[in-house]
Structures are given as C-alpha cells and as structure tokens.
Amino acid sequence: MKRRIFLSIIYLILSCKNNNHPHKIEPSINTENLVAILDTIWKTEQEPTRLRDSIGTALGFESDAFKKQNDIYHKNHEINEKKVL
C-alpha cells in the first residue's frame, strides 16, 4: 500500500514538472508580411490622394479628372479600412 502511494506521488510530481514553463505564443502574422501589408495600404492611400490633390489644384476641384481620382481614392480607402479592421 505504501509503495502504491509513493509511486502515485512520484507520478504526480513528474507529470506536473513540465507544466511550469509558459508556452510561447507565436504571432499569427509574420512581421515581414505585416510590413508588406502596411506598405501596400500606405501606397494605395497616399498616391491617389496626392494625385487627386494635384489635379484639384491644377484643373479645379470640380473637374471630371478630380472626381474620377476622388472615386479611386474612396474605393481604395474602403478596401484599406477592411484590411486594418
């Protein structure tokens, strides 16, 4: 009986021994991929915005070219918001 209790205690000690170490949690997104995603978002936000503003300054903010570029900007902006959220 004493041997059975002793072996049970040893078994419990050995079973719990490795559970004291915290598990490492790996990020779900690779850092390189995250940088690439953020670069893409930056480009698709900023380039159309700069072009739109330049067209607005040169041709007027009511011109067809400005409106077309503004539509492109808004489409990109909606896509980028979904990527971020």
Going from the first residue of the chain to its last (85 residues), give the mean pLDDT of each consecutive group of 10, the final group possibly shorter. 78 66 63 86 94 96 96 94 86
Q: What is the pLDDT of residue 79?
A: 93
Q: What is the pLDDT of residue 27?
A: 60
Alpha carbon distance 21, 17 (integer Å): 9
Q: What is the pLDDT of residue 64?
A: 96
Kindly state the tokens that stand for 16.
């719990």
Q: What is the pLDDT of residue 22?
A: 61
Kindly state the tokens that stand for 82.
């979904």
Stated length of the chain: 85
pTM of the model: 0.59
Q: What is the pLDDT of residue 35?
A: 87
- Among 40, 74, 68, 42, smallest CA distance to 55 is for 68
CB-based contact 41:80 (threshold 8 Å): yes
- Residue spans per domain, the chain: 25-84
Token look-up 């067809």 returns 64
